[in-house]
Amino acid sequence: MRVLIVEDEKSLAAEIKSALEKNHFNCEIAGTSKDALQELDNGSFDFILLDIGLPDKDGFWLLEELRKDYTDVAVIILTARGQVEDRVRGLDAGADDYLAKPFSLLELQSRMQAIIRRKFKLNDTLVTLGSFTINIKNRTVHYQDKEINLSRKEFDLLSYLILHKNRPLSRMQLSDHLWGDNADDESDSNYIDVHIKNIRKKMNAYAPTDWLETVRGIGYKIKITS
């Protein structure tokens, strides 16, 4: 998932980025409201971690602006201003959560996972696809008692499609949300197709993957009926 860290304190932004990337998030940093809007214009994000005390426009202004056009992105406010009035103002303006500084990076990641579960209506981290069990949290895929070894990017792709079950996602959407500027720079631009092919090959060795559908002219989707 792609995360925009809007924080003018460079050391803190770098610390957050490092921690999240170890847990398979793809992060970009913006130090001002202007830079943040530019990043949003250049590509879409799943999360925005938003500091209130920015050097140009404050985070409340930025939150109100981005909610006009970017309604799907989850926003967590990170700020030293922890008064009740500020919390209420941020939540009323459209923030999904509010975390006062100083905060634990483990708590931040826990809150992000809670938002993911709410947003995608996951009651558990275990998802069943046909004969397979996928553990989103532990990043494992099993057929019965056999673990199937997917690469990091293969699992990222599979889990992102699971979160957006029954929704066709284009190759550009998948590449942008999963890897952003770190997408593979290959001579052939079909690396999403290559990863899908590898996922199917590895899993079809055990059971059919009819639930992983190619949507002609668009991309791919995972079909879950229950």
Q: State the fold for domain 2-120.
A: Rossmann fold (3.40.50)
- Measured distance CA(192)–CA(119) in Å, rounded: 25
What are the tens digits of pLDDT across the range 4-37? 999 999 999 999 999 999 998 999 999 999 999 9
The residues, any chain, with a CB within 8 Å of residue 169's CB and separated by 6 or more, are: 160, 161, 218, 219, 220, 221
pTM listed for this prediction: 0.85
CATH 3.30.300.210 is held by the domain 126-222: no
Q: Are residues 4 and 40 in contact, defined by beta-carbon separation less than 8 angstroms?
A: yes
**CA end-to-end span of the chain:** 24
Comparing 2-120 with 126-222, is the CATH topology the same? no
User: Where are the domains positioned within the chain?
Assistant: 2-120, 126-222
What are the tens digits of pLDDT across the range 35-94? 999 999 888 899 999 999 999 998 999 999 998 888 889 999 998 877 888 888 888 989
pLDDT in the model for residue 181: 61
Model confidence band, residue 187 (pLDDT cutoffs 50, 70, 90)? very low
